[in-house]
């Protein structure tokens, strides 16, 4: 059967839904995934060529910054599902050709993607690009969704938003965990301001924005429509309180480490690893148990109401810090901690 799945991705809802299907398929098949993003070829433009010549680092950030952020979020989704994964990106003016070439290079035996229908994969493929993948790919192509024939429903929009937010939280937790597991006992070898920024963002975003939003809308609907979910929801509340305490402890331990580079980091790192493991357990419970139950039991009118309210809040900068600052944090995180 299939062992290695190529999944083209971007930051659209349709792509998120497709990737979710691909992850579940890979999990059932025992396969691994390569998430692939064909970035806009900035170097092919006149302004991009000038920037590349004048400042290669700035060019790299402009060309691939958002790409790293997008791929880090999809990687987190595969990790929480226990699916082996890799991430790849390429600047290309011909996305279909890039996807086919990447599938060949990485020896994938299946490509899984969605399409808008007449317009190609949302934000990634346009016009006849989908047909080009179909004609050129040396392996089977599985189209999970044709949006022109099956438009995205309110329930899918809401679950995609929550899923993306979970991916963002997992990306932070994973990056902090990887930083804490580095083989060093010296604070001088760690990007402490970066760690402080990630802890601060996790505290603000997950504890003050994401979780209360779920409680106000999703959990309230679940308690009404599926009373049997109350036990799991109460357990999630307990996990959140544990995470809140771990965040506060990690921030407290970070203060002396940042003020004195010779200070021991073992306690700080152990706390960060415990925090990351708690976040992974928490999100896995929501993704694998709570959200599927909500899909089954919450009525359409409730999803319609939630979709209207939640859509404007989907980016992790909402209400926490300026969106541009948030993007810079996640871009830097993804660049530093993306799988090699």
Please determine, for residue 317, whether its predicted confidence score (pLDDT) is greater than 50.
Answer: no
User: Residue 65 belongs to what domain range?
Assistant: 4-146
Assess whether 86 and 223 both reside in one domain: no
Assess whether 320 and 173 both reside in one domain: yes
Assess whether 115 and 214 both reside in one domain: no
d(C-alpha 288, C-alpha 115), whole Å: 26
pTM of structure: 0.71
Q: Is the dihedral of CA 50, 56, 59, 64 positive or negative?
A: positive
**Residues 189 and 261 sit within 8 Å (Cβ to Cβ):** no
Please determine, for residue 320, whether its predicted confidence score (pLDDT) is greater than 50.
Answer: no
**What percent of the chain shows pLDDT beyond 90?**
30
Mean pLDDT, range 152-172, rounded to an integer: 84
Q: What is the mean pLDDT of the chain?
A: 78
Assess whether 101 and 32 both reside in one domain: yes
Please determine, for residue 234, whether its predicted confidence score (pLDDT) is greater than 70.
Answer: yes
Whichever domain contains 270, its CATH number is 1.20.120.520
Summarize pLDDT for 72-101 with one digit per residue, the tens.
878 888 888 889 999 988 877 778 888 999
d(C-alpha 58, C-alpha 29), whole Å: 41
pLDDT of residue 89: 82
Last residue of one domain, picked from the residues 120, 146, 172: 146
Last residue of one domain, picked from the residues 117, 146, 175: 146
Please determine, for residue 149, whether its predicted confidence score (pLDDT) is greater than 60.
Answer: yes
Which range scores top for mean pLDDT: 25-29, 124-128, 260-264? 25-29
Last residue of one domain, picked from the residues 122, 146, 170: 146
pLDDT of residue 15: 85
Count: domains in the chain: 2
Please determine, for residue 62, whether its predicted confidence score (pLDDT) is greater than 70.
Answer: no
pLDDT band for position 43 (cuts 50, 70, 90)? very low
pLDDT of residue 212: 83
d(C-alpha 243, C-alpha 237), whole Å: 10
**Residues 38 and 89 sit within 8 Å (Cβ to Cβ):** yes
């Amino acid at each position: 059967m299939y062992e290695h799945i190529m999944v083209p991705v971007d930051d659209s809802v349709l792509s998120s839904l497709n990737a979710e299907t691909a992850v579940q398929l890979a999990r059932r098949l025992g396969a691994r995934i390569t998430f692939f993003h064909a970035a806009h070829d900035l170097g092919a433009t006149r302004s991009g060529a000038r920037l590349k010549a004048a400042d290669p680092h700035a060019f790299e950030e402009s060309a691939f910054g958002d790409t790293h952020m997008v791929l880090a979020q999809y990687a987190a989704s595969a990790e929480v599902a226990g699916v082996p994964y890799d991430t790849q990106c390429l600047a290309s003016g011909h996305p279909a050709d890039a996807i086919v070439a990447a599938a060949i290079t990485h020896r994938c035996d299946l490509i899984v993607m969605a399409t808008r229908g007449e317009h190609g994969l949302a934000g990634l493929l346009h016009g006849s690009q989908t047909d080009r993948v179909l004609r050129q790919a040396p392996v089977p192509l599985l189209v999970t969704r044709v949006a022109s024939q099956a438009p995205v429903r309110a329930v899918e929009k809401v679950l995609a938003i929550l899923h993306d937010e979970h991916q963002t939280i997992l990306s932070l937790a994973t990056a902090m965990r990887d930083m804490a597991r580095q083989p060093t006992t010296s604070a001088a070898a760690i990007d402490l301001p970066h760690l402080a920024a990630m802890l601060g963002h996790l505290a603000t975003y997950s504890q003050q924005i994401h979780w209360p939003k779920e409680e106000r809308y999703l959990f309230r609907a679940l308690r009404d429509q599926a009373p049997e979910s109350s036990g799991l929801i109460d357990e999630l509340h307990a996990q959140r309180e544990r995470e809140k305490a771990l965040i506060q402890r990690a921030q407290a331990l970070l203060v002396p480490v940042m003020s004195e580079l010779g200070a021991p980091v073992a306690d700080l790192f152990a706390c960060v690893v415990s925090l990351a493991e708690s976040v992974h357990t928490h999100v896995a419970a929501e993704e694998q148990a709570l959200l599927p139950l909500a899909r089954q039991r919450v009525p359409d009118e409730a999803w319609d109401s939630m979709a209207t309210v939640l859509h404007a809040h989907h980016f992790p900068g909402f209400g926490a810090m300026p969106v541009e600052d948030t993007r810079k944090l996640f871009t830097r995180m993804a660049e530093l901690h993306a799988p090699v």
